[in-house]
């Protein structure tokens, strides 16, 4: 554990921006090779993706709305990682939050819109937070592993919500697993008509700013930082490490829960079985790309959103499959996680270059 | 529902059937943990194994060649974990998750590109039940074992061989030393990195085999995300069985039993609630029951 902490410290010092940038470039390069193998022109494809996503209003809105859930889950993973806890449970927390928001949206009536929305978000916040708190408590008091626990909880929550959506909460006459439609007063306002872009984007940006503030300007943020970077130091400094773990992880789960609420209140207007296409796990790559900074998460999720929106739009006119972006995301994690790997690759290129230079200039061939 | 002999037979037979992938994957986990590398990547290696075994069978028309493909690609996916964690010192949880995420992202993509299908692949040549006359004639066992696939017997054989390797051979002893105390192992001149790579490669092979059982043993096609968390359950079983192949065999059969109960109770309870059972049970085991099973002391430690 200590080794990990030390290397983490070094990572902090290193310029993480360059790291992330290189990781993204490498992933896109590998992606380009893949596109080429599939028989398309990489340059044309990337051009088309960016053209669609940034060149048109609808594309831009799609990029942002695709990025919104990723921002929530990215923030969730980043926050937990600040105390070096791995929150692989964002997927489950997202479902818990979505179900809570859908219930408040559909079964609480006659409220003014802002209060209804706040109440739904609040319920999602609590649902996601409680799920995560359970995991953190098991880690702190029973020394369980949070990764295996969250992975099991994901399955349990997804199956249980699916049971609810197919059983007791299913509206009469519905063919698929879903809950009752939420009231109009709980729906999030659309920023651009006929798109999925809602004020959820402002909610997530506000959350990111708050988290950034907490991490850098408050005592709690300082405790998070010390606990994450130097556990022994935290004990010596008299920080209540258990409490820090509990609060941080619960907050992380709560943010993921908000993401579920944003999907229900802004996009689907009800809980639909299996609505998440692995947003929880995508959050890992978003957070890694952002070097675990809240504001960075917003930017990196937007980048992935651009890729997603581009491939979704292009996919309608037969081109690169949408799953392609998922592979790019994994490549991003791999390269961000292993900065030494990138350096090793760059060094190899340098050596080859030196070698060819030597041969060009009549040096000894090795 | 009336409880008769047929039902008992079918529960036992289906318990064994659904424990095979768990047996193989958690056996792989033993090798990985006993080489000092955490085994969170099993899920991805299994998924890769189940996809590529179908691909192999599709290309060659032979289930055995398919099996070989599953093993080889399971191992290749494990090498991603190995290179990231062992050589580049990435946190093993992250590199393990990378393997899982890569397999989840890459298999639908390849399914789309190679088979031009989404959701599931074409049906291919799969393993058949052996239909050995002599086995069917044994009174009680015959009915249970006769319902099993060739791979079930292979899995049992591998567990025994794996146990002998880990606990009765010199190489196994050295590998366990690497997992307990890599510094000491390095001091006495053992090739620590080599043992770690070997352990992870073996875990990839076994997990790939377990994945191949899902696609070619239980079915005859690949379904998107068909491992559905079995790799993670194998991680838990591995801790449950104290990182010993015989222990994990017992754990796998125990979990297989819960899996088998699903099919029986599906008609009475809502299917989702029944499907939750193994996960709830696993969760309880991780939360309360694992204090006895300590991981080898040197897991995740690197040697300068």
Q: Rg for chain B (alpha carbons), in Å?
A: 19
Interface test with B, best of A5, A142, A147, A152 (most B CBs within 10 A): A152
Angle between helices B230-240 and B271-288 (to 10 degrees): 40
What is d(CA B7, CA B91) in angstroms, rounded to the nearest whole number? Answer: 47
CA distance B193 to chain A (A): 17
Report the pLDDT value the prediction gives residue B291, as an integer from 0 to 100.
Answer: 55
List beta partners, residue A272. A178
User: Average pLDDT, whole number, for chain A?
Assistant: 86
- Across the range A240-261, mean pLDDT stands at 96
From chain B, pick out residues whose CB is under 8 angstroms from the CB of A344: 88
Q: Is there a contact between B93 and A147 if contact means CB atoms under 8 Å apart?
A: yes
Asked whether residue A81 carries a pLDDT value surpassing 80, the answer given is yes
Residue in A152, A334, A340 nearest the CB of B286: A152
Q: Is there a contact between B109 and A323 if contact means CB atoms under 8 Å apart?
A: yes
Q: Is there a contact between B236 and A152 if contact means CB atoms under 8 Å apart?
A: yes
Lowest mean pLDDT: which of B86-100, B243-257, B262-276? B262-276
- Joined together, the tokens standing for residue B162 give 């794996």
How would residue B3 be classed by pLDDT, with cut points 50, 70 and 90? low
**CA distances (Å), origin B89, targets A313, B180, B181:** 39, 18, 17
Q: How many CB contacts within 8 angstroms connect chain A with chain B?
A: 120
- Across the range B39-62, mean pLDDT stands at 93
Q: Does residue B207 or residue A39 have the better pLDDT?
A: B207
Asked whether residue A8 carries a pLDDT value surpassing 70, the answer given is no
What is d(CA A203, CA A35) in angstroms, rounded to the nearest whole number? Answer: 35
Asked whether residue A362 carries a pLDDT value surpassing 60, the answer given is no
Report the pLDDT value the prediction gives residue A363, as an integer from 0 to 100.
Answer: 44
Q: Is there a contact between A86 and B90 if contact means CB atoms under 8 Å apart?
A: no
What residues of chain A have any CB closer than 8 angstroms to a CB in chain B?
A: 1, 3-4, 7, 38, 86, 88, 138, 142-145, 147-149, 151-153, 155-156, 159-160, 162-163, 166-167, 278, 281, 284-285, 321, 323-324, 326-327, 329-330, 333-334, 337-338, 340-341, 344
Report the pLDDT value the prediction gives residue A365, as an integer from 0 to 100.
Answer: 41
- Joined together, the tokens standing for residue A130 give 């409680």
Under 8 Å between Cβ of B174 and B185: yes
List beta partners, residue A190. A198
Tell me how many degrees the CA angle A65-A69-A72 measures, rounded to the nearest 5.
130
What is d(CA B50, CA B83) in angstroms, rounded to the nearest whole number? Answer: 22
**Residue for token digits 């298999």?**
B107
- Across the range B283-289, mean pLDDT stands at 79
Report the pLDDT value the prediction gives residue A77, as an integer from 0 to 100.
Answer: 94
What is d(CA A150, CA A153) in angstroms, rounded to the nearest whole number? Answer: 5
From chain B, pick out residues whose CB is under 8 angstroms from the CB of A38: 113
Percentage of chain A exceeding pLDDT 90: 46
Report the pLDDT value the prediction gives residue A364, as an integer from 0 to 100.
Answer: 42
Span B16-34, pLDDT tens digits: 888 999 999 999 999 999 9
What is d(CA A260, CA A155) in angstroms, rounded to the nearest whole number? Answer: 16
Residues 6+ away with beta carbon under 8 Å from A270: A102, A105, A106, A178, A179, A180, A181, A182, A264
Span A131-157, pLDDT tens digits: 999 999 998 998 888 888 898 899 899
Residue in B232, B270, B302 nearest the CB of A148: B232
What is d(CA B82, CA A289) in angstroms, rounded to the nearest whole number? Answer: 22
* Dihedral angle, C-alpha A137, A140, A143, A148, nearest 10 °: 50
What is d(CA A120, CA A112) in angstroms, rounded to the nearest whole number? Answer: 12
What is d(CA B251, CA A221) in angstroms, rounded to the nearest whole number? Answer: 42
Max mean pLDDT among B106-120, B183-197, B233-247 falls in B183-197
- Across the range A244-264, mean pLDDT stands at 96
Under 8 Å between Cβ of A190 and A202: no
Asked whether residue B283 carries a pLDDT value surpassing 70, the answer given is yes
- Joined together, the tokens standing for residue A300 give 């990196």
What is d(CA A130, CA A136) in angstroms, rounded to the nearest whole number? Answer: 10
Closest CA to B44 of B273, B257, B232, B173: B232
CATH number of B11-288: 1.10.3470
Under 8 Å between Cβ of A54 and A305: no
Domain spans of chain A, in order of start: 2-360
What residues of chain B have any CB closer than 8 angstroms to a CB in chain A?
A: 40, 80, 83-84, 88-91, 93-95, 97-98, 101-102, 104-106, 108-109, 112-113, 229, 232, 235-236, 239, 270, 272-273, 275-276, 279-280, 282-283, 286-288, 290-291, 300-302
What is d(CA B121, CA B221) in angstroms, rounded to the nearest whole number? Answer: 6
CATH number of A2-360: 1.10.3470
- Across the range B58-84, mean pLDDT stands at 94
Q: Does residue A259 or residue B134 have the better pLDDT?
A: A259
Percentage of chain B exceeding pLDDT 70: 95
Taking CA–CA distances from A11, the nearest residue in chain B reads B90
Asked whether residue B2 carries a pLDDT value surpassing 60, the answer given is no
How would residue B4 be classed by pLDDT, with cut points 50, 70 and 90? confident
- Across the range B126-137, mean pLDDT stands at 73
Q: Is the ipTM of this complex over 0.85?
A: no
Q: Does residue A57 or residue A361 have the better pLDDT?
A: A57
Write the DSSP assignment of B243-273 as a string of letters. Answer: T-HHHHHHHHHHHHHHHHHHHHHTTTS-HHH
């Amino acid at each position: 554990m200590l080794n990990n902490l030390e290397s983490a410290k070094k990572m902090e010092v290193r310029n993480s921006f360059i790291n992330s940038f290189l990781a993204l470039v490498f992933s896109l390069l590998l992606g380009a090779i893949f596109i080429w193998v599939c028989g398309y022109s990489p340059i044309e494809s990337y051009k088309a993706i960016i053209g669609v996503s940034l060149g048109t209003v609808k594309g831009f809105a799609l990029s942002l709305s695709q990025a919104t859930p990723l921002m929530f889950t990215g923030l969730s993973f980043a926050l937990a990682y600040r105390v070096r806890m791995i929150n692989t449970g964002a997927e489950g927390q997202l479902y818990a939050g979505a179900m809570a928001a859908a219930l408040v949206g559909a079964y609480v009536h006659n409220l003014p819109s802002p209060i209804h929305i706040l109440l739904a978000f609040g319920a999602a916040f609590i649902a996601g937070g409680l799920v995560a708190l359970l995991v953190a408590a098991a880690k702190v008091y029973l020394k369980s592993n949070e990764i295996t626990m969250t992975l099991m909880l994901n399955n349990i929550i997804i199956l249980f919500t699916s049971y609810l959506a197919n059983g007791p909460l299913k509206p009469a006459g519905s063919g698929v697993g879903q809950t009752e439609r939420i009231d109009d007063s709980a729906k999030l306002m659309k920023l651009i008509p006929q798109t999925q872009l809602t004020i959820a984007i402002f909610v997530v940006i506000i959350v990111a700013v708050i988290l950034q503030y907490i991490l850098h300007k408050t005592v709690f943020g300082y405790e998070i930082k010390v606990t994450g970077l130097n556990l022994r130091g935290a004990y010596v400094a008299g920080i209540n490490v258990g409490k820090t773990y509990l609060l941080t992880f619960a907050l992380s789960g709560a943010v993921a829960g908000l993401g579920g609420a944003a999907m229900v209140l802004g996009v689907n207007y009800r809980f639909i079985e299996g609505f998440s296409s692995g947003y929880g796990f995508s959050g890992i790559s978003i957070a890694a790309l952002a070097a675990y900074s809240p504001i960075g998460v917003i930017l990196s999720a937007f980048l992935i959103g651009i890729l997603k929106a581009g491939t979704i739009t292009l996919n309608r006119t037969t081109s690169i499959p949408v799953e392609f972006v998922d592979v790019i995301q994994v490549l991003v994690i791999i390269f961000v996680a292993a900065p030494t790997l990138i350096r090793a690759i760059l060094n190899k290129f340098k050596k080859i270059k030196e070698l060819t230079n030597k041969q060009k200039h009549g040096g000894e061939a090795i | 529902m009336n409880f008769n002999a047929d039902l008992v037979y079918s529960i036992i037979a289906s318990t064994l059937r659904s424990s095979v992938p768990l047996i193989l994957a958690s056996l792989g986990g033993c090798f990985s943990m006993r080489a000092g590398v955490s085994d969170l990547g099993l899920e991805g290696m299994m998924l890769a194994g189940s996809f590529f075994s179908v691909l192999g069978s599709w290309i060659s028309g032979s289930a055995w060649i398919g099996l070989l493909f599953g093993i080889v690609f399971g191992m290749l996916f494990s090498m991603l974990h190995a290179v990231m964690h062992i050589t580049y010192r990435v946190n093993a949880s992250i590199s393990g998750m990378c393997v899982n995420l890569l397999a989840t992202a890459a298999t639908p993509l390849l399914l789309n590109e190679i088979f031009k299908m989404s959701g599931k692949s074409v049906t291919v040549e799969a393993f058949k039940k052996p239909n050995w006359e002599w086995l069917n004639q044994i009174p009680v066992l015959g009915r249970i074992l006769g319902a099993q696939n060739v791979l079930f017997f292979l899995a049992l054989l591998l567990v025994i061989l794996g146990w002998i390797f880990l606990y009765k051979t010199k190489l196994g002893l050295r590998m366990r030393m690497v997992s307990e105390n890599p510094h000491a192992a390095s001091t006495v001149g053992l090739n620590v990195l080599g043992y770690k790579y070997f352990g992870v490669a073996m875990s990839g092979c076994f997990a790939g085999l377990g994945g191949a059982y899902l696609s070619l043993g239980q079915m005859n096609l690949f379904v998107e995300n068909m491992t559905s968390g079995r790799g993670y359950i194998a991680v838990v079983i591995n801790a449950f069985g104290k990182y010993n192949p015989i222990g994990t065999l017992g754990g796998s059969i125990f979990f297989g039993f819960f899996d088998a109960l699903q099919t029986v109770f599906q008609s009475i309870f809502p299917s989702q609630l029944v499907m939750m059972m193994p996960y709830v049970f696993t969760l309880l085991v991780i939360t309360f029951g694992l204090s006895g099973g300590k991981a080898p002391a040197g897991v995740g430690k690197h040697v300068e």
